[in-house]
């Protein structure tokens, strides 16, 4: 019976771009990063992702950082990250050495203790995008997929893909919501 159905026409890239733009504009009109996190945790996940953002780049720049707040309901670990916009992505830690020089090192994973908010921010933990394929301009969005494993009795694997807004600088902390 399927043969009776006409084949689905693939979406043209132009339409996809328009859709991405529309969703971006919708996002901007809301203007609250807290809403971005809601969509990230809307599926029945146990990981909350808040205030994700990626630092904008200048032409030719191949490396940039992604930041966010991660809260896992149960003991978990962020084990890998990927983005279609980057050749690869690493989980990094930035620390200051004895000579007050900031140093970055790649980590095998980032532990997320149950109920604790782990902040990825400039000067600290961050996700490093390497071999970035195009310039990332303010108010654009990139897709980012984060892979987590559960550290409880049975190990679960979970992948979450989020839209990450491109910003020039860290967003102001989300204001406390009043009412409801």
> Is 170 an interacting residue with respect to Cu ion (CB under 5 A)?
no
Stretch that binds Cu ion, among 67-75, 104-112, 135-143, 155-163 (CB under 5 A): 104-112
What is the closest distance, in whole angstroms, from the C-beta atom of residue 65 to Cu ion in the complex?
6
Q: Does 104 participate in binding Cu ion (rule CB under 5 A)?
A: yes
Which residue number places its CB atom closest to Cu ion?
92
Query: Under a CB-based contact definition with an 8 Å cutoff, are residues 129 and 64 in contact?
Result: yes
Count of residues near Cu ion by CB under 5 A: 3
Piece of 31-39, 99-107, 151-159, 162-170 that binds Cu ion (CB under 5 A): 99-107
Q: Which of positions 63-92 make contact with Cu ion (CB under 5 A)?
A: 92
Point out which span in 75-83, 100-108, 133-141, 162-170 binds Cu ion (CB under 5 A): 100-108
Q: Which of residues 113-152 bind Cu ion (CB under 5 A)?
A: 128
Q: What is the DSSP string of 49-110?
A: EEEEEEE---TT---EEEEEEEEESSSEEEEEEE-TTEEEEEEEEEEE-TTS-EEEEEES-E
CA nearest to 70, candidates 45, 99, 48, 92 = 48
Write out the two tokens for 143.
Answer: 């897709």
Residues lying near Cu ion in the complex (CB under 5 A): 92, 104, 128
């Amino acid at each position: 019976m399927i043969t009776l159905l006409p084949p689905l026409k693939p979406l043209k890239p132009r339409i996809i771009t328009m859709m991405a733009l529309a969703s971006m504009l919708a996002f901007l009109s809301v203007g609250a990063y807290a809403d971005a996190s809601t969509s990230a945790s809307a599926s029945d996940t146990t990981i909350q992702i808040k205030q994700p953002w990626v630092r904008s780049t200048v032409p030719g720049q191949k490396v940039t950082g992604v930041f966010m707040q991660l809260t896992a309901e149960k003991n978990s670990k962020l084990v890998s990250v990927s983005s279609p916009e980057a050749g690869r992505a690493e989980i990094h830690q930035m620390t200051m050495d004895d000579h007050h020089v900031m140093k970055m090192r790649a980590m095998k994973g980032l532990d997320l203790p149950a109920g604790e908010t782990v902040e990825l921010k400039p000067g600290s933990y961050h996700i490093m995008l390497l071999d970035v394929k195009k310039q990332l301009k303010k108010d654009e969005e990139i897709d980012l997929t984060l892979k987590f494993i559960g550290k409880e009795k049975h190990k679960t694997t979970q992948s979450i893909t989020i839209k990450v807004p491109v910003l020039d600088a860290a967003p102001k902390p989300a204001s406390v919501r009043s009412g409801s």
